[in-house]
Structure 1
Amino acid sequence: VPPRAMADMMSRRNDFPSRSPYLSHWYGLREFLILSPKRNTDPIADESRANILLSSTAIAVSNVGCNVPIFIRVQHEWRNMFIGLCEGSGLRTHFNVCYLKNAPHQYRHLAGLLEIFKSKLGSHIPNDIVIMVAVRFTYVLRDFESTASRQVLPRDETGMPILTNLPFGSMHDPVSGLHLSCTWPIFSEEVVTENDDCNDFDPLLSQQWAIGVTLLEELPVLLSDAVQEYLNLSTKRETIEQLLGKFQTADEIPNASMNMADPIKRISDSRTQQYWTSISSSISNTTSRLRVNIFNPPLPPNVVEKTIEAKDDDRL
């Protein structure tokens, strides 16, 4: 019985795994071991050193009868280069990765890839053998505009925010990429042609389509921000003086007879000096008249009025 790894490599279900490591994409493996240096600053860059490690691995695998593929990471980690082997039932499979900055032009289509594949097999197969092929083309769209979301706070006909409704939605477009995969699961090499002169792989004629999206991480959303802001306000320890401005006693007021008929305007208007006459009837006789200088009013008058109306509606 051949090792499971060899059966996985021959299985058509593992041709195009999703969200898998590089080795699973390249070889269709479901399980494997990777040997790599403990420190990334000491990569296995020398070819002779890599071959010695691979030979030692082959001896260890043969002694213990391990059927799991073992790979050795060579070069720097970001290059994703490996060499490896798998043994079992008298069979041995060697794995190797070749890194090219630019692929040769003749190997950028199916005809060139089939030529490489047949040259690796050499004289071990007859000339009339038919090669089975599975193909997938993936098109990626990343040109999304990085603009603010069209989600806005709900407002009434006068343009004022509706305090009874919570905002909902993301502040930015959550999609950062769109992937379209066109797949031809399995067919004979004689069915289609792809070379410099002809290309039969039309995405509109593919047998399978699959669409996936890439989402932004830690995306700010309106509802979460609103709840977080409420929690922050509920735990604030600032005093009224810190929130509304500096209080002054009546002795410091040059003109203590300012009209207090419109308290909402006094709270929100930053262009005039504000006066605090009393806090409540229980402490009105024990406190002095205070003046508040508010240079940046915390709320505009119309928002204060809306807030008071909302609180009155809740009481009813």
Structure 2
Amino acid sequence: MMNEELDDNEFFQQDFTTASEWEIFNARLEEIFHEWKLSYGGALGSQEPLGRNQLSVCEWIVVKEKIKFADVELDVVWVKADVPEEDTAVKEEDSVDCQAFVDLMANGNDYCIVDQMGDGKLHPLAQWYGLREFVVVVPVKKSITNESQIRILMSSIHIAVSESSCDVPVFVQVLDKVQNVFLGVCESGSTRLSFDIVHLNVTPPTCKYLSGLLDVFKGKVGVPYMDPVAVSVRFSYSLSKFLSASYVVPKKVPFSNNGGEEHVDDKNISLPFGVAIDPVSELILHCTWPHVADNVVIDSQTYSDFDPLTAPAWSLRARYEDTPVCFMSDCIQEFLQISESRRAITEFFPELAFGATQNLEGTKALERLTESKIPTLASVLPGMASAGTKQDHIKLEGPLNNDLLKDMLYYLFPDAQKDALHEYQIPGQVEFDPLKIKSAHPDSLVHRLGTLMAVCNSYYGGKRAVAQLWAEFSQEMRYRVERCIQIPG
């Protein structure tokens, strides 16, 4: 017989080693779980039990990996609470449950304090189930609303969890993101736990009470359950309209003896403190019954044992306005804005210009240094001395009237008044602190001057009032320095 050579190209050869997109997706999920060390008992319940409300106050570790399935881009997010772990080693003969199962049965974090009005850092899964560690598969752009896609994705999650021996609960976010619908699974040994969420447009009448919810729960168990069911109940009452009971503080401006503002005690001079409108936007009262057996309480359409007045635990929570109107903060912020102003004081008071003050007595420094030491007649006679004491003082016309300006200067220089109301408290030996080298001591001259300038800027005429006070203060300081008069404070 003639041996005929056969061409291999004439036969169809199928490559069975080629992996489909679904298999590649499953393999990548398993690889991510292994990289994060979530496999082979990595989440056994050997950690410290969670404290009361610990999940809402602790820091969270978030790790993300991008993965693509078909034309859908997904984020695989590992969320873990940063809580201290127990150092004691687990013996081989000890029976240790899955950490997720332990956290689910603990009731210390049943009602975590979380701000639902804002973007709180506590994940909804941690708030609902009390989990300290879990994985979430989240779509990056479009939400997953197709039922077939949801089933394929959930089957991939089941396969990846089973093949990698992952003990950490894994969830998939489906439907619209604002609905917070998560489907998940957790496997440990021979036990599988499925997580599901149902959204109802209208709540059935039987599910509005504990008796109906218990019937649904016992029906889902599927086996006779003789032991009582432990439930936790919380009633929340919100109050957002306070009407006449709203908290408003009257504005107390220093040296305001008339007008709409309330008069302030002359001995207590400080920046206005308080709020213009009530900073509390909402008060929430929680009445809680923690860990109650279902056979000792009745809650149905006709009768209920859950009276808020008999609740064993009450808690009150307040939500505040994002930007409350506070007197002191507004006053300081306005004063900080003018601190960077480059406008000269002569723009507000032209009479303080150099040409207008060059003939004053205090501006001739050489004559001051070379003047005769023999006292003049004006300095000897009391009447003439008092008349010529401050002949170089310039009278400024500004928003501060004479009485108000006099009270402020007496506050800065109390030694100029016979019966001083604002004496400086002379401190003892103060230890030098280089960290406070640019700060003023409490109730010192600089401290009082800064307080008055901030008050003048906000309530007595703005920048022009600040310039007027500064000009009067500067002239008083020059007068005291030239005549060697002690500067208080």
Band of TM-score, shorter chain: 0.7 to 0.9
Amino acid at match of 1:51: R
The structure 1 residue matched to 2:333, chosen from 213, 219, 228, is 228
Total equivalences in the alignment: 274
Of 230, 244, 247, the match for 1:132: 230
Structure 2 distance, partners of 1:279, 1:91, is: 94
Equivalent-residue separation in structure 2 for 1:164 and 1:114 (angstroms): 64
Does 2:329 correspond to 1:278?
A: no
TM-score by length of 1: 0.75
Query: SS of 1:187's equivalent?
Result: strand
Q: Which moved more, 1:133-142 or 1:111-120?
A: 133-142
The one of 317, 342, 356 equivalent to 1:237 is 342
Cα distance in 1 for residues equivalent to 2:171 and 2:191: 17
Larger radius of gyration: 2
| Residue segments in structure 2 that go unaligned for 5+ positions in a row | 1-95, 115-121, 365-396, 415-444, 446-486
In structure 1, the residue matched to 2:124 is 22
AA matched with 2:293: S
Distance across 1 between alignment mates of 2:185 and 2:401: 73
104, 109, 120: which one aligns with 1:9: 104
Measured on the aligned residues, the alpha-carbon RMSD in Å equals 3.1
- What is aligned with 1:254? none
SS of residue in 1 equivalent to 2:172:
strand
Distance 1:217 1:96 in 2: 35
**What is the alpha-carbon distance in structure 2 between the residues aligned to residue 101 and residue 239 of structure 1?**
68
Identical-residue share of aligned pairs (%): 32
Residue 145 of structure 2 corresponds to residue 45 of structure 1: yes
Match of 2:136 in 1: 34
Is 1:73 the equivalent of 2:173? Answer: yes
Q: Give 1 or 2: higher strand fraction.
A: 1
What is the CA deviation profile of residues 22-56 of structure 1, one whole-angstrom value per residue up to 9, with x for unaligned ones?
Answer: 222322222212211122xx111112111111111
Give the counterpart of 1:97 among 176, 197, 210.
197
C-alpha separation in 1, matches of 2:229 and 2:348: 77
Equivalents in 2 of 1:303, 1:229: separation in Å? 21
Give 3-state SS (helix, strand or coil) of 1:209's partner.
strand
AA partner of residue 109 (structure 2): N
Local SS of the residue matching 1:16: coil
Q: Which runs of 5+ in 1 are unaligned?
A: 249-266, 268-275, 285-293
**Match of 2:186, SS?**
strand
1:204 to 303, 309, 319: 309
Equivalent pair of 1:130/1:188 in contact (CA under 8 Å): yes
Q: Does 1:168 align with 2:268?
A: no
Residue 158 (structure 1) aligned to one of 227, 252, 257: 257
Distance in 2, Cα, partners of 1:302 & 1:50: 79
**Preserved contact between residue 275 and residue 325 of structure 2 (Cα < 8 Å):** yes
Does the Cα contact within 8 Å between 2:276 and 2:325 map onto a contact in 1? yes
Classify 1:151/1:62 alpha carbon distance in 2 versus 1 (closer, same or farther; 3 Å).
farther
Give the TM-score normalised by structure 2: 0.50
The counterpart of 1:109, out of the listed 193, 197, 209, is: 209
The alpha carbon displacement at 1:115 in A equals 1.0
Contact 1:2-1:89 at 8 Å conserved across structures: no
Q: Distance in 2 between matches of 1:37 and 1:221?
A: 43
The change in CA–CA distance for 1:283 and 1:136 in structure 2 (over 3 A counts) is: same
Q: CA-to-partner distance for each residue in 1:99-129, whole Å, 9 max, x for gaps?
A: 122211221010110111011112x224x44
Aligned-residue offset at 1:198: 0.5
Structure-2 change in CA distance of 1:84 and 1:62 (3 Å): same
What CA distance in whole angstroms lies between the structure 2 residues aligned with 1:35 and 1:211? 36
The aligned counterpart of 2:41 is none
Alpha-carbon spacing, 1:153–1:279, altered in 2? closer, same or farther (3 Å): farther
